[in-house]
């Protein structure tokens, strides 16, 4: 098995969002990757520029970040050839690793645009190294920059960041130091190719945690009405549990609840709504063991939201 640590650079519509191509808001212009073996030893590197077909010059913001000039791209490969070569280089027995969750999304969106998404069947299981770094730091919402992670881990930056191969290289360097975090329950599932029908729905069990990914629905309300959607069972013994805090909306895209299993204690339920390019919704539900401190934090959150709502109502009177 090989770890494929990859990074993409992309361009966006230079004339602003209103004029962008709907199926391709971000056009990939560079692919860089390092291949590591199971002991994290470097096996090979991959790099290619991609010749743009949709946006004919580089958005100012993109240029500021990635230091690429349009003429750099003209000798690149056309995207279908570039990505076919990349996937061939990756091999069959591979595990993708990226900094954050955007690269796999944009890779697939670009492939869909060129009708070659079939080359990378989903859902794709991968390691989000940014998330692993957050877990390593003990952070709840783990979104730090690659540069921050490198500084934290004492990795000296000898090359300029924000070019695909350099970022892939350093992501690999950070990952090498996160070996202990690279366990199945910390892996991520990319569901850009989300389940469309009930038999395609996904349930993954990691011991103390269960993750469920639903098929798609026309609206969030319809998804919540689906039979069994709000059910919570213990991830360990699979028995129904007692509700402590009923499901409530933290914001428009997120619900949480707290339950308790007589044998295994407190557990937190989380529902996240995801929208597809076609403006449909699917649900990612996770149930995992938690502790009193976290349960209390959730209860306080609910209380704050309740007060806010009450104030808003009174203001209207
Ligand atoms: Zn239980």
Q: What is the pLDDT of residues 235-254, one digit of tens each?
A: 999 998 999 999 999 999 99
Mean pLDDT of the chain: 91
Question: From ligand 1's centre to the CA of 294, what distance in Å?
Answer: 18
The token pair that represents 215 in the structure block: 């098929």
The CATH architecture that domain 2-186 belongs to is: 2-Layer Sandwich (3.30)
The pLDDT score that the predictor gives to residue 159 is 80
102's CB contacts (< 8 A; 6+ apart) are: none
Q: Higher pLDDT residue, 139 or 106?
A: 106
Question: From ligand 1's centre to the CA of 183, what distance in Å?
Answer: 22
Confidence of residue 213 (pLDDT cuts 50, 70, 90): very high
Question: From ligand 1's centre to the CA of 270, what distance in Å?
Answer: 17
Mean pLDDT, residues 42-63 taken together = 87
Q: Which residues surround ligand 1, an ion (CB under 5 A)?
A: 234, 236-237, 261, 263-264
Residue 30, H or E segment: strand 26-36
Question: From ligand 1's centre to the CA of 266, what distance in Å?
Answer: 9
**Long-range contacts, 177-185 (Cβ 8 Å, 24+):** 177/153, 178/129, 178/132, 178/133, 178/136, 179/40, 180/136, 181/132, 181/133, 181/135, 181/136, 182/127, 182/132, 185/209
pLDDT over 80 at 141, yes or no: no
Q: What angle do CA 33, 95, 191 make, to 5 degrees?
A: 100
Q: What is the largest CA-CA distance in the chain?
A: 68
The token pair that represents 271 in the structure block: 């529902």
Question: From ligand 1's centre to the CA of 235, what distance in Å?
Answer: 7
| Residue 295 · residue 268 · CB < 8 Å | yes
Q: What angle do CA 139, 131, 246 make, to 5 degrees?
A: 65
Question: From ligand 1's centre to the CA of 73, what distance in Å?
Answer: 56
Mean pLDDT, residues 207-216 taken together = 92
Could you check whether the bond before residue 123 is cis, i.e. omega within 30 degrees of 0? Answer: yes
Share of the chain above pLDDT 70, in %: 98
Question: From ligand 1's centre to the CA of 233, what distance in Å?
Answer: 8
Backbone angles phi, psi at 58, to 5 degrees: -90, 130
The pLDDT score that the predictor gives to residue 140 is 67
Question: From ligand 1's centre to the CA of 80, what distance in Å?
Answer: 49
Question: From ligand 1's centre to the CA of 230, what distance in Å?
Answer: 17
What is the rounded radius of gyration, in angstroms, for the C-alpha atoms of the chain? 22
pLDDT over 70 at 162, yes or no: yes
The pLDDT score that the predictor gives to residue 277 is 82
Q: Higher pLDDT residue, 35 or 65?
A: 35
Q: What angle do CA 144, 161, 31 make, to 5 degrees?
A: 100
Mean pLDDT, residues 178-200 taken together = 91
Q: What is the pLDDT of residues 77-96, one digit of tens each?
A: 999 999 999 999 999 999 99
Residue bearing tokens 């919402």: 141
**SS3 state of residue 199:** helix
Question: From ligand 1's centre to the CA of 215, what distance in Å?
Answer: 26
Domain ranges for the chain = 2-186, 195-316
8-state DSSP, 17:
G
Backbone angles phi, psi at 52, to 5 degrees: -70, 145
Beta-ladder partners of 2: 94
How far from the centroid of its chain's Cα atoms is residue 39's Cα? 25
Confidence of residue 142 (pLDDT cuts 50, 70, 90): low
Worst-scoring range by mean pLDDT, 39-48, 115-124, 159-168, 196-205?
Answer: 159-168
**SS3 state of residue 135:** helix
Question: From ligand 1's centre to the CA of 221, what distance in Å?
Answer: 29
Question: From ligand 1's centre to the CA of 303, what distance in Å?
Answer: 27
**d(C-alpha 16, C-alpha 14), whole Å:** 6
Q: What is the pLDDT of residues 256-284, one digit of tens each?
A: 999 999 999 999 999 999 998 889 999 99
């Amino acid at each position: 098995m090989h770890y494929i640590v990859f990074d993409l650079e992309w361009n966006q519509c230079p004339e602003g969002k209103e004029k962008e191509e709907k199926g391709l808001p971000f056009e990939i212009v560079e692919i860089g990757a390092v291949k590591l073996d199971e002991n994290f030893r470097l096996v090979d590197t991959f790099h290619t520029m991609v010749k743009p077909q949709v946006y004919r010059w580089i958005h100012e913001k993109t240029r500021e970040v990635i230091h690429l000039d349009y003429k750099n791209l003209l000798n690149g490969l056309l995207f279908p050839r570039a990505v076919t070569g990349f996937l061939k280089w990756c091999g069959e027995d591979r595990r993708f690793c990226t900094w954050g969750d955007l690269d796999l999304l944009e890779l697939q969106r670009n492939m869909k645009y060129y009708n070659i998404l079939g080359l990378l069947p989903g859902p794709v299981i991968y390691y989000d190294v940014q998330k692993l770094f957050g877990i390593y730091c003990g952070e709840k919402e783990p979104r730090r920059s690659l540069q921050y992670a490198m500084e934290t881990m004492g990795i000296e930056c000898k090359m300029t960041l924000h070019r695909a191969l350099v970022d892939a290289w350093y992501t690999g360097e950070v990952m090498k130091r996160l070996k202990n975090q690279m366990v199945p329950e910390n892996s991520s599932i990319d569901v850009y190719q989300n389940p469309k029908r009930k038999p395609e729905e996904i349930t993954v069990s990691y011991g103390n945690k269960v993750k469920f990914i639903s098929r798609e629905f026309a609206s969030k309300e319809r998804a919540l009405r689906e039979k069994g959607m709000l059910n919570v069972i213990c991830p360990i013994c699979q028995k129904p549990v007692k509700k402590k805090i009923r499901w409530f909306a933290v914001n428009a895209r997120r619900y949480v609840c707290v339950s308790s299993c007589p044998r295994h204690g407190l557990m937190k339920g989380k529902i996240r709504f995801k929208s597809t390019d076609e403006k449909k919704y699917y649900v990612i539900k996770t149930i995992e063991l938690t502790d009193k401190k976290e349960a209390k934090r959730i209860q306080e959150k609910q209380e704050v939201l309740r007060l806010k709502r009450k104030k808003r109502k009174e203001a209207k009177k």
